[in-house]
Amino acid sequence: MARLKCAVVISGRGSNLQALIDACATPSFPAEIVNVISDKADAAGLKRAQAAKIPHRFIDPKEQGGRARFESALDEALIESGAELVCLAGFMRVLSAGFVEKWRDKLINIHPSLLPAFPGLHTHQRAIEAGARLTGCTVHFVRSDVDSGPIILQAAVPVVPDDTPETLADRVLTTEHRIYPEAVRLIALGRITVVDEVVRIDGVKPGKTSPFNPVPGD
Ligand code: GRF
């Protein structure tokens, strides 16, 4: 079976990239990573790609001179690598509406909150300050508004009384590493469709499944 060709676009640490690399290392996983692209030369994720022998490159936004040129270099690199799905994983730039539209329903992101709560930065601090009892993470298709778009998978994580943004971030990150590969797997299997801007997961009865493992018995 042909595996879905994925590119991963990062800016930093790359722990979600690593979760995807690890998932793809299983021969039966229906996706593979064909390219890792960073907008930061010193992103630790580039070393992870190197260690996994995955083609990787840094695209220098300064050298490109402006968002439009950076995005066309990114677009070119993605097309060149044959990517069928683009996974943003800690990529810290806002992509233009034109780029997002070009990759519509082929561009996904992971965000460390239960969207639509807490889009943007400092999500864990904001969840604690709001007194939220639950937070979590979301994998979603990207639309042009920041951290918006059809939700593919979510996982809830409790906020406990002594949490700091750091302890909460660590707990949420562990679940990010579970749902991102699962979302990619479901897309690769062709089980995800977007209907009226809502994701349908083939084989799942609405309301009958856990967000962690939405396809029981699979
Ligand atoms: C993650 O918390 C992700 O949800 C957010 O940025 C962070 C990236 O972490 N978008 P890493 O680079 O994957 O370790």
CA nearest neighbour of 34 among 56, 12, 2, 1: 56
What tens digit of pLDDT does each residue of 27-73 get?
A: 999 999 999 999 999 999 999 999 999 999 999 999 989 999 999 99
Contact call for residues 37 and 7 (beta carbons, < 8 A): yes
Q: What is the pLDDT of residue 218?
A: 40
Query: Is residue 112 lining ligand 1, measured as CB closer than 6 Å?
Result: yes
Strand, coil or helix: what is 21?
helix
Position 64 scores a pLDDT of 87
106 lines ligand 1 (CB under 6 A): no
Q: What is the dihedral of CA 203, 208, 210, 215, to 10 degrees?
A: -20
C-beta of 12 in contact with ligand 1 (< 6 A): yes
- Asked if residue 184 lies in contact with residue 6, where contact means CB atoms within 8 angstroms, the answer is yes
What's the pLDDT at 83? 98
Q: What is the DSSP letter of 11?
A: S
Ligand 1 site-directed mutation target among 176, 177, 179, most atoms within 8 Å of CB: 176
Residue indicated by tokens 């580039």: 46
- Residue 167's Cβ-side half-sphere holds a number of Cα atoms within 13 Å equal to 8
Q: What is the pTM of this model?
A: 0.94
* 3-state DSSP helix/strand/coil % of the chain, to nearest 5: 35, 25, 45
Catalytic residues: 111
**At residue 16, what are phi and psi to the nearest 5 degrees?**
-70, -40
Query: What pLDDT is attached to residue 167?
Result: 98
Look up residue 93 and give its DSSP letter.
S
Structure tokens at 197: 């801007």
| Ligand 1 pocket check for 136: Cβ under 6 Å | no
Which residues of the chain fall below pLDDT 50? 210, 213-218
Cα 1 to middle of ligand 1, angstroms: 30
> What is the residue with the minimal CA distance to atom 7 of ligand 1?
90
Task: Please choose from 16, 109, 124 the residue to mutate so as to test ligand 1's pocket, defined by most ligand atoms within 8 A of CB.
Answer: 16
> Is the separation of the CB atoms in 141 and 152 below 8 Å?
yes
| 39 touches 63 (CB < 8 A) | no
Residue to substitute in 8, 37, 92, 110 for testing ligand 1 pocket (most ligand atoms within 8 angstroms of CB): 110
Identify whether the C-beta of residue 71 lies closer than 8 Å to the C-beta of residue 99: yes
Question: Which are the contacts of 42, defined by CB distance < 8 A and separation ≥ 6?
Answer: none
In the prediction, which pLDDT does 204 show? Answer: 75
Write out the H or E segment, with its range, that includes residue 155.
strand 151-158
For 70, other C-beta atoms within 10 Å of its C-beta total 21
Q: Is the CB of 16 under 6 A from ligand 1?
A: yes
3-class SS of residue 170:
helix
